[in-house]
Chains A and B, each alone.
Chain A
Amino acid sequence: RKEVEQDPGPFNVPEGATVAFNCTYSNSASQSFFWYRQDCRKEPKLLMSVYSSGNEDGRFTAQLNRASQYISLLIRDSKLSDSATYLCVVNTGSGNTGKLIFGQGTTLQVKP
């Protein structure tokens, strides 16, 4: 079983739609969680951290469910520019020795 699992998609949605991605992780001792965005032929870039209480950044909302070991990302009012691959990332370490494990990524295509 992979340490971090995501549905690879692709998710094809119209502009303005709301779309949600989920990610599950296997290591219950994982300390911190993130969503990254990767555009075609570019390196991944941090989109947002995921906090236990849930957090929002504009149209993006991230949530963590430790009991069920999953993380979610909700995108509201999708824009064409949101088309990318979204990577779920889990830090399985403690203190400063964090090992970053990536999910396979979920591809989003927003269409006009």
Chain B
Amino acid sequence: DVKVTQSSRYLVKRTGEKVFLECVQDMDHENMFWYRQDPGLGLRLIYFSYDVKMKEKGDIPEGYSVSREKKERFSLILESASTNQTSMYLCASSSGLAGVFGPGTRLTVT
């Protein structure tokens, strides 16, 4: 069964900490995405990658960076977590058409 996995379902971090969210897909997809989802705002694209070591900013990249060293893995990094980054983070991958999502990581920054 093909899938996208995320390293944690729930995460609690303190303000100022560096946070790593990991995403792995086993479908050999070229494209990978990081979104955050907040009530009333829907899914907003943070970053996406269409190839290894390639990345493009989405709509809300401020405060985030990404890393894609291998095709199957796409990491989202919060350099210095802030309370306004408390959210549900969803990773997805696609071969160019529809995307498949991971289960999400609910991050709370206190």
Contact = CB atoms under 8 A, between A and B. Distances in A.
Contact of B104 (A8, A43, A97, A100): A43
Given A45-B101, A102-B43, A97 B90 contact: no
Interface residues of B, number: 26
A102 B40 CA distance: 13
Contacts of B96: 91, 93, 95-98
Interface string A94-112: 0111111111110000000
The secondary-structure label for the interface of chain B is: strand
A72 to B, nearest CB: 18
A100 B34 CA distance: 10
21 contacts: A32-B97, A34-B97, A43-B104, A44-B90, A45-B101, A46-B98, A46-B100, A87-B43, A89-B98, A91-B96, A95-B96, A97-B31, A98-B96, A98-B97, A100-B33, A100-B45, A102-B43, A102-B45, A104-B40, A104-B42, A105-B43
Interface of A: 8, 32, 34, 42-46, 49, 87, 89, 91, 93, 95-105
